Chain A
């Protein structure tokens, strides 16, 4: 399709292609690595791909032009003192921590000690050379299902650095969560980074993954684009919790694509907290590959100033006796825009499906906006499905009640807003990330 917008993206593609060839020159001996072949293929494929535009149904409310306006450089390698990142560590959850600075894995700041022997955690590069995992990982990198984020994932594949592959064999319960802590530093130059991780939960295994995204504390933040790609393969009867929190400066951009494949009787729970960025787009897609599964999708977002925060979710109920439960709650003020686009597909064979979806938002100024688009497509007849979307303001009665007890207008409004999103945050099972989210939310709503 040739449109004015796609013509503009031609320049973006050329720019990425140019960046890629600069990278290529520095690779020297690594050109024979299978990852390089994958990247090369991806950057070539990108030249023929369209960027999503508002003409696409899945992108109706979100234009990416602003995201690709800056000429991003690849993330800088910089040293960061351990003390500066202390407030960002989730010590209460006692995680294994992987720290990334501007997208570069920083081993010194990370802590992977005492990782159980049975599990494998290795870079995607290594995994592609590993006898046991190579073909599987290669397949994961090549077979992206979601159309909505395909172009973004292709860019991710072209530029991803030091992504990780995490394999938990059957029956292993990893008690401590894995925390991917992404920190970005400031500076005049716009930088980009492309987190890319693959998680595989063997039969009846259990683990939790946390992703957090922050600016380096105490520094003037700069413009960045983080383009995330995650895959979760959840084996039969396995349980995986997945937390994502981003509190990046409001000049930066983030797109995130998560694909989840759930096998019989497995549980996957997603918890998302989005506080920062100028523009955010999360794509979360879940495919149910066995019956008896349970999926949770919880999300909360706070938008102010010019923020544009877009959550798109998709769950494919293909088999019977699967439950899904989705709750997104957000607050928008100033000129912020929120988007919720939740698709629930219940195919003909998916009898006895229980699918619940709720999106609620508070729109607190005349110039703020919420676009909510729940989509239920149901082809089975014996199912329980419900969805609801509410867009409202703070309740006058509640404000009056609190003020009659001596709270100022602002105090009362802040308390009610924190209360509104707390339903989502209270569902977080890990206390460290829950408290971090609560603390940041309370601070933002003051």
Chain B
């Protein structure tokens, strides 16, 4: 489904990603872990198409298409969803109105018919329940004055309604208490299907207690330095990142 080859990315001439290789098949959940500044969030935003990052080398192939040639919105239409670490607050746009606009623009791009008001209401009701979202927040401005937990739940609601093929969660667990964390994990688990893949970017192992990954990759200094199964995450939990840094240093 997704194949990243030798991806190199710079921001303002500073190389952040330094040759990433990663293959993801439908249905898989990949966790990407790493110390601060290792390039985890950069990878997430490069997948979503943020223009401030400059791809200097490499390829990203998504379902047979060249992802790097696509605009941000085209990637969303193709089924890529990024749950933001810091969802943007937009006063003056109600959450419900935003959801309707985004659902219909993606449906339109896919050549599907736009939903009418009644169908929309039904869909929102169903998804609100699925991700345990406070319905009152639908009528507030998008993320405006939401608590950290509310914002993350809102990202999960958006993920649920947009039904992406590949969902990238960028440190969705940061700043969440254990209850909010469970809500996020629950949403992901309910949305796990054989044809939907997830990339869970996280600093801590905590979230992976609730979302069990098929693969864990450790990103350090812009490279994946180690890949394994969920036991790798547990080792990080116990021993921290120092051994990774030492191993990387000894190789260099």
Contact = CB atoms under 8 A, between A and B. Distances in A.
A421 B84 CA distance: 26
A401 B88 CA distance: 7
B204 to A, nearest CB: 24
B91 A423 contact: yes
A416 B90 contact: yes
Q: What 9 A-B pairs come out closest when comparing CB atoms? A: A419-B92, A406-B76, A422-B92, A403-B72, A401-B88, A406-B106, A405-B102, A419-B93, A403-B73
Contacts of A27: none
A403 B101 contact: no
Given A404-B82, A406-B162, A411 B105 contact: yes
Contact of B49 (A397, A404, A405, A421): A404
Contacts of A419: 90-93, 141
A406 B76 CA distance: 5
Best-buried of A405, A416, A418 by chain B (most CB within 10 Å): A405
A112 interface: no
A406 B102 contact: yes
A400 B88 CA distance: 9
Interface string A392-427: 000111101111111111011001101111110010
Nearest to B143: A401
A421 B88 CA distance: 18
Contact-residue size bin, chain B (C-beta under 8 Å from the other chain): 20 to 34
A409 B87 contact: no
Nearest to B51: A400
Determine the interface band of chain A, counting residues with CB < 8 A from chain B: 20 to 34
B8 to A, nearest CB: 22
A438 B102 CA distance: 20
A406 B88 CA distance: 15
Interface in B52-89: 52, 71-73, 75-77, 81-82, 84, 87-88
Contacts of A412: 73
Contacts of A416: 90, 93
Select the residue from B72, B75, B81 with max chain A CB neighbours within 10 A. Answer: B72
Interface string A357-369: 0000000000000
A411 to B, nearest CB: 6
A408 B81 CA distance: 15
Contact of B87 (A396, A401, A411, A423): A401
Contact of A409 (B73, B75, B102): B73
A304 B210 CA distance: 53
Interface in A24-46: none
B50 interface: yes
A180 B215 CA distance: 69
B93 A415 contact: yes
A419 B101 CA distance: 14
A398 B90 contact: yes
Given A400-B50, A411-B101, A415-B101, A405 B76 contact: yes
Contacts of B49: 403-404
B109 A406 contact: yes
